[in-house]
Structure 1
């Protein structure tokens, strides 16, 4: 009898315990919510239920299986015994833009896998939930809502919550077409004063000098040659910009790899030696014969060569990102209007090339007649072409090696100019020689800035220590960005940069070395994403923040909220940088 009673009590106790566990549907209540621009996965945990972080997985299951967890913002897990777990309800946002980009399809199925346990001692079997999304039907709704929201923001806040890029993109949508195009031409004129356009000046000048070798170079001919160069440059910028806006494939960025840059630098070195008279660069004889069948064959050869050089120069020499360019690309990407966006990019490129037209006009008018002077000018432009080659290799080689190359070029230039006896030339020669020697000394001391070759010596004298430099934390994926932002108890600044980015070097050498900027950024957690290789992870990071190319600065407040109005695109000097940052921090 006692045995039967004991057996009954044990069975009753086991049954009671079993009944205290929640059913899987009660332990993990899930739902999908389709919003205007994202799919939200809601997971509500029952009492005493927790979720394993490593078992929480997000996929695109159709049309093909793609892991997207690293592209999403997942709440930080906490330690429990030897595992990382979630004990609170989850609301995970999956942007439609991400789904469309990764799946490359309008019909997408999303799958979420998860597994968890009860703290009472029961572990549930792995579970899976799916949702189908038709992105084609949601696209129009999303765009309309965004337009309404942006209009409301602009009316209520005077566009205070928009950054420069957003404001320019909005002006394209809502402004008068002729006024928009005139504005973008003005943007181009301003951009012509940036370092991105400077290398094109000696390239075009050397082309005109070469044309002057063959005979008369009138003002009209000089202007025509410049116009061919500028129009080819504008076409290249427009094509690259429209492709970047429509497909996210930035042709300029794709060409900024070491092999292309070294090859293009080699072309400039070859052009320089051609100007020194070692050989003559010409089209292949077979192609020359075809062109020369016409009466103006020689003219056509020159025009084709200039057009090719202008097209390639725009793609490889000066890939600078500035708010006007970024705004046009954002507009094209959001609206698909390649016509107006492309027209804006084209007139902006013409504005950038306007000073080049003046150079062609002036060179054609004031170029010395062929003879001894012309020969000397040609050789000087050969030296300048070598400088352009070094400027391009700066994106590939170690900075100290570049210092040596600049030193050798300047010393060699000074030695060459010694043959002239004019007092002004002698003075210039002496200055070039001294600066070349200073660059060589700087290179030996491991200096990296050609504009400050004695930085290692002056910093020791003035007491500027390495500790006063900014401390950057490198991030290589969206997951690492989220982890760093969530772990910080300070505002966060993320810097997108690349070794081939000219404006990035300006930010680094001027803005980020300003004492006022350093003092301000001491209160920030500083992150840096190096997108030099333009890898898939690099593209995903840029896509997430709407960055069309470096430099770009993204900000979060100390509560990990992104402050979109403070986003900075392109180079800003210390005063402009502090003005933007001080508005929000």
Structure 2
């Protein structure tokens, strides 16, 4: 098993490094030159191999002394259609006569701004880019323009960037050790998010199952949790590197009904195994091969734990958070899969720290094998059924999910009645009551297990929900049309039914009275990327979104406000802080 993990890690490293070498850095993909002639300014943009530009992202403006668009009056090469977009594959040579500048604004000094965004045929999209040049018509000593580096520094100092871009920039400005330590800290913070919580009962059930037939020591419990966390970290890293280089979110691709129902069935099988109906074993041929060594039984267990950890990372916790998005942006822009992959690996290790502590504690305090352990095992079997329902919630009708939760709680309450202990009887009554409440909620049409009586409570939550009206869009064309028609600032919410953090935003942030009041000033759009269709992938690729939740903003002039971009869950206070900072009025 150790040799297999080493080989897999080496293969992933070599594969990602090889791919990384083929990805052009932004400076190689787009080479911009400003050439000042006697009567005109030429903007030359040379594209790297297999690089193309979005036609609708091209802008040439006078940015100072005031903003004036110039592109409509310049001669552009004819664009072509590619992959559903209007793009340019040829190098650009844009000629701006000085007479045109004088016609627009009478001045002795102009700042010309050139904006563009492009992608590679390999599937990598670069962030929007901006280059500026200042030209003078005064003394000859001032005929030279501000150097490109000075302009970049000025932009970097004055332009606000999003949290994700700030994290991505930290890779370039910090040492490897600082980056790794920072991402390990990010992982510790992410370990308290809902996307990691389901892994706790999964790992706990594995340890409980193993404790049935042997005494569990702290060392053995920690070892089992370490195998689970390392496999989980390897999965996160591989999926992240693939997403960064190819723009394909492997975790999102696995959030389809067939995969989720299959994985849910696995947990149901595990639950019935814990109830004692049968014992799960590896195929006989594989058992015989492993058992040829003296530690064959141990290797069987390690392999099963590693597989479960690997699959859990890919299927159970697919939501995107700012650190993950920042690492993917860095990998996508630079092709540096080594540093980006290391950051993701150590972030995953940070996420796994609570799991390691659970393994250590379970191994130390787990009761010895016996009748007591049989009851504990069955309780964890019930928890496995809960995990199965939690997974099914992403693909089945929410009302059906409510009924399933109700049946699970009612069944658990009835099961616990077999114990005569007073505490067991009390817990049984509480769980049965919860089951009844969930059943009543399901009958009433409620869909949130955490608010089963929502239909019977005051109408405050209902009216608040009605106040936030989102218009659903399906593709880029519909989005562009909605932006064009809007007379207000715009907010676009990337959402998916399998995204836990998306539901947190819906149930907590978007139901806050202050947030609702603020968002009345916006045109609210939402794109459902649950199906991960070609249209879903295209619109995410367009805005550099690696997965939900993500929120994009535009101002009244229909310019994207990059500094307001939100990735991951934000509570009402933090959400309002971002919006108020970027939209004062």
The reply to whether TM is greater than 0.5 is yes
Q: Which residue is equivalent to 1:518? A: 516
Task: Name the CA distance, whole Å, in 1 between partners of 2:84 and 2:44.
Answer: 20
The 5 A counterparts of 1:128-147 are none
Task: Name the CA distance, whole Å, in 1 between partners of 2:220 and 2:520.
Answer: 56
Say if 1:323 and 1:525 are closer, same or farther in 2 by CA, change over 3 A.
same
Task: Name the CA distance, whole Å, in 1 between partners of 2:541 and 2:465.
Answer: 34
Question: Is 1:557 the equivalent of 2:555?
Answer: yes
Structure 2 stretches lacking a partner, 5+ long? 1-41, 60-71, 89-113, 133-146
Question: Is 1:216 the equivalent of 2:206?
Answer: no
Q: Which residue is equivalent to 1:96? A: 118
TM-score, with length taken from structure 1: 0.77
Q: Which residue is equivalent to 1:400? A: 399
Give the root-mean-square deviation of aligned CA atoms. Answer: 3.0
Q: Which residue is equivalent to 2:445? A: 446
SS at match of 2:352: helix
Q: Which residue is equivalent to 1:68? A: 85
Task: Compute the displacement of 1:523 (Å).
Answer: 1.2
The 5 A counterparts of 1:422-441 are 422-441=421-440
Question: Is 1:195 the equivalent of 2:194?
Answer: yes
Q: Which residue is equivalent to 2:45? A: 34
Say if 1:188 and 1:148 are closer, same or farther in 2 by CA, change over 3 A.
farther
Task: Name the CA distance, whole Å, in 2 between partners of 1:541 and 1:373.
Answer: 54
Say if 1:208 and 1:493 are closer, same or farther in 2 by CA, change over 3 A.
same
SS at match of 2:457: helix
Structure 1 stretches lacking a partner, 5+ long? 1-30, 44-50, 72-91, 106-134
Task: Compute the displacement of 1:561 (Å).
Answer: 1.3
Q: Which residue is equivalent to 1:5? A: none
Match of 2:155 among 148, 153, 156: 153
The 5 A counterparts of 1:463-542 are 464-465=462-463, 468-542=466-540
Task: Name the CA distance, whole Å, in 1 between partners of 2:294 and 2:465.
Answer: 68
Task: Name the CA distance, whole Å, in 2 between partners of 1:70 and 1:459.
Answer: 53
Question: Is 1:298 the equivalent of 2:297?
Answer: yes
Asked whether the 8 Å contact 1:517–1:578 carries over to 2, the reply is yes
Asked whether the 8 Å contact 1:38–1:93 carries over to 2, the reply is no
Task: Name the CA distance, whole Å, in 2 between partners of 1:195 and 1:485.
Answer: 33
Task: Name the CA distance, whole Å, in 2 between partners of 1:443 and 1:187.
Answer: 38
Task: Name the CA distance, whole Å, in 2 between partners of 1:235 and 1:147.
Answer: 39
Say if 1:146 and 1:391 are closer, same or farther in 2 by CA, change over 3 A.
farther
Task: Name the CA distance, whole Å, in 1 between partners of 2:466 and 2:509.
Answer: 14
Say if 1:95 and 1:431 are closer, same or farther in 2 by CA, change over 3 A.
same
Task: Name the CA distance, whole Å, in 1 between partners of 2:196 and 2:463.
Answer: 34
SS at match of 1:213: coil
Task: Compute the displacement of 1:148 (Å).
Answer: 7.7
Say if 1:150 and 1:457 are closer, same or farther in 2 by CA, change over 3 A.
farther
Cα deviations across residues 151-180 of structure 1 (Å, max 9, x unaligned)? 5434x23xx611100000000111021111
The 5 A counterparts of 1:158-307 are 161-307=160-306
TM-score, with length taken from structure 2: 0.77
Task: Name the CA distance, whole Å, in 1 between partners of 2:352 and 2:122.
Answer: 35
Asked whether the 8 Å contact 2:409–2:431 carries over to 1, the reply is yes
Asked whether the 8 Å contact 1:153–1:161 carries over to 2, the reply is no
Task: Name the CA distance, whole Å, in 2 between partners of 1:210 and 1:275.
Answer: 7
Asked whether the 8 Å contact 2:367–2:373 carries over to 1, the reply is yes
Q: Which residue is equivalent to 1:59? A: 80
Task: Name the CA distance, whole Å, in 2 between partners of 1:515 and 1:240.
Answer: 38
Task: Name the CA distance, whole Å, in 1 between partners of 2:238 and 2:275.
Answer: 35
Cα deviations across residues 364-393 of structure 1 (Å, max 9, x unaligned)? 100000111100000000000000000000
Q: Which residue is equivalent to 2:571? A: 573
Task: Compute the displacement of 1:524 (Å).
Answer: 0.8
Say if 1:377 and 1:149 are closer, same or farther in 2 by CA, change over 3 A.
farther
Task: Compute the displacement of 1:480 (Å).
Answer: 1.3
Cα deviations across residues 104-141 of structure 1 (Å, max 9, x unaligned)? 99xxxxxxxxxxxxxxxxxxxxxxxxxxxxx9xxx9x9
SS at match of 2:530: coil
Task: Compute the displacement of 1:425 (Å).
Answer: 2.0
Task: Compute the displacement of 1:267 (Å).
Answer: 0.1
Task: Compute the displacement of 1:297 (Å).
Answer: 0.7
The 5 A counterparts of 1:279-428 are 279-428=278-427
Task: Compute the displacement of 1:459 (Å).
Answer: 3.3
Say if 1:545 and 1:425 are closer, same or farther in 2 by CA, change over 3 A.
same
Asked whether the 8 Å contact 1:240–1:252 carries over to 2, the reply is yes
Say if 1:330 and 1:455 are closer, same or farther in 2 by CA, change over 3 A.
same
Say if 1:409 and 1:296 are closer, same or farther in 2 by CA, change over 3 A.
same
Task: Compute the displacement of 1:440 (Å).
Answer: 0.5
Task: Name the CA distance, whole Å, in 2 between partners of 1:493 and 1:308.
Answer: 40
SS at match of 2:211: helix
Task: Name the CA distance, whole Å, in 1 between partners of 2:149 and 2:443.
Answer: 57
Say if 1:150 and 1:170 are closer, same or farther in 2 by CA, change over 3 A.
farther
